Chain A
């Protein structure tokens, strides 16, 4: 037993080193477009894993992701932009003096983005999480829209619908994948703890959970706050990746994508969320040619912006209709599972060749 745990630790460490090496290789050699796609993969991984924490593991259908991402994004953007950029951006109405001269390094700015999102998540969660299913969805959807409208109108802080331009491009693969790895690690640890059991109990039957002494408010708000924190971080990464943000980046559409990804990956599977987030981001880029105009012999097709989303929606529909479990269902990746599979494969191959092969552990 101990041996297996040590083996798995070593394998995890090796995988992390390998991942780090691959990221370093990618960071040095890939063109900016491909790098951006890889960064987006990590950001959507964070979005999906955190949505899974709230919905897949706690059973609370919250649609506030875009709002929390906006908070993290604006906080990090305003804290990392140079004073000159702020002057250039805020030409309609000057920025509040408090923020005008501030310029922080990326890490504290990103963390503060996460903390602000978590605080708002905590404050919103308390009343909102008393609601059930549909009502919670409507309330959190409203919250996301309120944040957006607030940011459109809060000229002296957010620069309104003009948005923020020239945000320093701090986000690289180390930041984005580092944050994604931290999110996966913490969410997985939380879900596998006694608190995670309590969250799943709340998800499966809240009345029974409460009768067993589990405080519904505490555990729902816990899940919601942790999730909001990482969504804020992801928002910060996004802002410092695309370098230009405005309130339209954080339309409900963003949340909709996250819900779609998580459902496709499988509710209550972190592995599924990670895989689906990466597949979705890459897939969406691969489909880009669909939106351009092209000619098939004599037939000329005009550009069709939004075509990709039609396909995404169709795919989501297909998953829900025919493959409700998503890619992974509730299963998770584990070294034991992988090694078991490999052993099975080897056994089958070995039996074909000779009979001397034995199971070794």
Chain B
């Protein structure tokens, strides 16, 4: 059986800087895997490579058996990869419902003419989108905020909404970039439960970047640690916690001694 996501010797160079160096990993369907590492170690760059924002310098990314390295981001999204962003990026001009509805647009079959003329086919699709969006917001306990301005929501809710919007594209692989950033312990506990919940109900595979060790160690069975764009450790939380190279990368022991 092939893995859902298979990354092989992925490298990204910005001029002379090697941001990601020979990164390889496999994600099986249904897996929850964390990617951690010190600031600037190349985590977000890897996400940007998977989602097509950056073009790989070399190496390959296979999703569901097809090579997607360097493909246009919207086409990658259509294949079933969705993501959230490190700094929350909701659409300011739209309310909660419409932010989520944008996520359904990629499945719309009716053309712009049918949309302008409100042809029955389009109207049916639109009604279905709205119903699904409401259902999704209900499932994520955001339905009471449906007509609020997206950016006026409390921080934790904005994070959730961003995940809801990503889920609207019906992904098979969800990339979460520091979902717990800036959250207090209570909020991040809530988030952990939330991630486990969506992993199950939406039959997802989740790849997660996170700085809060509590979150990572709490829910991820497998952790990949990178530093300077290279994998320095990989394994279950217990093994990572005691790994000498990981401790050095984070605390700098040995380098300054």
Annotate A48-64 by CB proximity to B: 1 below 8 A, 0 otherwise: 00000000000000000
Contacts of A204 in B (CB 8 A): 91-94
Known: A214-B74, A330-B93. A194 touches B85 (CB 8 A): no
Give the docked Cα–Cα distance between A213 and B77 (Å): 5
Instruction: Give min CB distance, B241 to chain A, whole Å.
Output: 33
For B51, give its contact among A193, A211, A268 (CB under 8 Å).
Answer: A211
For B85, give its contact among A208, A210, A215 (CB under 8 Å).
Answer: A208
Annotate A173-215 by CB proximity to B: 1 below 8 A, 0 otherwise: 0000000000000100110011101101101110111111111
Q: How many chain A residues touch the partner (CB < 8 A)?
A: 27
A284 within 8 Å of B (CB atoms): no
A222 within 8 Å of B (CB atoms): yes
A216 within 8 Å of B (CB atoms): yes
Tell me the residues in window 91-112 of chain B with beta carbons closer than 8 Å to chain A beta carbons. Answer: 91-94, 98, 101-106, 108, 112
Known: A209-B102, A214-B74, A216-B74. A200 touches B108 (CB 8 A): no
Closest B residue by C-beta to A206? B73
B102, A197: Cβ atoms closer than 8 Å: yes
Contacts of B101 in A (CB 8 A): 194, 197
Contacts of A200 in B (CB 8 A): 91, 93-94, 98, 102
For A193, give its contact among B78, B93, B126, B166 (CB under 8 Å).
Answer: B126
Contacts of B165 in A (CB 8 A): 212
Give the docked Cα–Cα distance between A197 and B93 (Å): 10
For B116, give its contact among A186, A201, A211, A215 (CB under 8 Å).
Answer: A186
Known: A197-B94, A197-B105. 4 other contacts (CB 8 A): A190-B112, A198-B102, A207-B53, A213-B77
A194, B105: Cβ atoms closer than 8 Å: yes
Instruction: Give min CB distance, B132 to chain A, whole Å.
Output: 13
Instruction: Give min CB distance, A313 to chain B, whole Å.
Output: 28
Instruction: Give min CB distance, A356 to chain B, whole Å.
Output: 33
Give the docked Cα–Cα distance between A58 and B211 (Å): 36
Closest B residue by C-beta to A185? B116
Instruction: Give min CB distance, A249 to chain B, whole Å.
Output: 30
B122, A212: Cβ atoms closer than 8 Å: no
A210, B112: Cβ atoms closer than 8 Å: no
Known: A189-B118, A268-B93. A213 touches B83 (CB 8 A): no
Give the docked Cα–Cα distance between A198 and B98 (Å): 10
A212, B102: Cβ atoms closer than 8 Å: yes
Annotate B117-149 by CB proximity to A: 1 below 8 A, 0 otherwise: 110001001100100000000000000000000
B91, A205: Cβ atoms closer than 8 Å: yes
For B77, give its contact among A186, A195, A211 (CB under 8 Å).
Answer: A211
B115 within 8 Å of A (CB atoms): yes
Q: Is the interface of B mostly helix, strand, loop or mixed?
A: helix
B51, A214: Cβ atoms closer than 8 Å: no
Give the docked Cα–Cα distance between A211 and B156 (Å): 22
B214 within 8 Å of A (CB atoms): no
A213, B106: Cβ atoms closer than 8 Å: yes
B82 within 8 Å of A (CB atoms): yes
Give the docked Cα–Cα distance between A222 and B113 (Å): 11
Q: How many chain B residues touch the partner (CB < 8 A)?
A: 36
A222, B77: Cβ atoms closer than 8 Å: no
Binding site for B on A (CB under 8 A): 186, 189-190, 193-195, 197-198, 200-201, 203-205, 207-216, 222, 226, 268, 330
A212, B93: Cβ atoms closer than 8 Å: no
Give the docked Cα–Cα distance between A200 and B91 (Å): 8
Contacts of B82 in A (CB 8 A): 211-212
- Which of A189, A190, A212 has its CB near the most chain B CB atoms (within 10 A)? A212
Contacts of A189 in B (CB 8 A): 115-118
B93, A210: Cβ atoms closer than 8 Å: no
A212, B94: Cβ atoms closer than 8 Å: no
Give the docked Cα–Cα distance between A224 and B103 (Å): 23
Contacts of B193 in A (CB 8 A): none
B73, A201: Cβ atoms closer than 8 Å: no
List 5 A–B pairs whose Cβ atoms lie within 8 Å, in order of A's numbering: A190-B112, A193-B115, A207-B53, A211-B73, A213-B105
Tell me the residues in window 57-95 of chain B with beta carbons closer than 8 Å to chain A beta carbons. Answer: 72-74, 77-78, 82-83, 85, 89, 91-94
Closest A residue by C-beta to B165? A212
B73, A198: Cβ atoms closer than 8 Å: no
Closest A residue by C-beta to B91? A204
B106, A194: Cβ atoms closer than 8 Å: no
Instruction: Give min CB distance, B224 to chain A, whole Å.
Output: 22
B105, A212: Cβ atoms closer than 8 Å: yes
Instruction: Give min CB distance, A259 to chain B, whole Å.
Output: 20
Instruction: Give min CB distance, A101 to chain B, whole Å.
Output: 35
Instruction: Give min CB distance, B162 to chain A, whole Å.
Output: 9
B106, A212: Cβ atoms closer than 8 Å: yes
For B115, give its contact among A195, A211, A215, A216 (CB under 8 Å).
Answer: A195
Instruction: Give min CB distance, B129 to chain A, whole Å.
Output: 7
B205 within 8 Å of A (CB atoms): no
Give the docked Cα–Cα distance between A213 and B125 (Å): 17
- Which of B72, B112, B117, B122 has its CB near the most chain A CB atoms (within 10 A)? B112
B11 within 8 Å of A (CB atoms): no
Contacts of B118 in A (CB 8 A): 189
A205, B89: Cβ atoms closer than 8 Å: yes
For A201, give its contact among B78, B83, B85, B91 (CB under 8 Å).
Answer: B91
B93, A190: Cβ atoms closer than 8 Å: no
Give the docked Cα–Cα distance between A190 and B110 (Å): 13
Contacts of A203 in B (CB 8 A): 93
